[in-house]
Amino acid sequence: MTTSETARPATLDAASLRELVDSGRAPRLLDVRTPAEFETSHIPGSYNVPLDLLKEHREELRNHLDEDVVLICRSGARATQAEQTLAGVGLPNLKVLNGGIMAWQAANAPIKQGAPRWDLERQVRLVAGSIVLASVVGSVFVPQLKWVAGFIGAGLTFAAVTNTCAMGMMLGKLPYNRGASCDLDTIVGQLRESGGGRA
């Protein structure tokens, strides 16, 4: 795989995916958001494989993914990382849902709703904004605190340039975001079943 292919994964738009699902030819749908985000809303028939778990156990998961796979997240960034991870272990036929779950919802496609929770990107904005605000206000009394705000700004810039987010990955590990049990054995068991394990 060339570098340009790694940077630009194959994508599938919401309308095309819906057509495949409606025709009974749905690919394997892997939602790489946190369990809490998945519980809030997801595409019926999708499997929750959080990005951190997918990265850690890519070899084991690769053995259970031999058909077409569409990767889903909120907007496409985490799904792109998942695509690069799985492509790195030789998994073919990977696509990213262009625009993620947001595009799916905007297309008025079927969605399974659960208890509402804040998505990970919103949590990152809250935490980063709160740290910057507290640092700026605190710098009136302790001038060195301005560097904390600068560090957060640099981190957000790096996150945008690399399309990764260390703060998001850390927040994803909090109990609030873990939701129901989502471990490798459960996921592999669902993937082994022929449709019976889908949510």
Active site residues: 73
Q: Which residues lie closer than 8 Å to 48 by C-beta, 6 or more apart?
A: 31, 33, 35, 38, 42, 182, 187, 199
6-24 residues labelled b (16+ CB within 10 A) or e (exposed): eeebebbebeebbeebeee
Q: How many residues does the chain have?
A: 199
Torsion angle (degrees, nearest 10) of CA 172, 127, 39, 16: -90
Rounded distance, CA 73 to CA 48, Å?
10
DSSP three-state, residue 66: coil
Report yes or no: 96 and 80 within 8 Å, Cβ to Cβ. yes
CA-nearest of 75, 96, 59 to 184 is 59
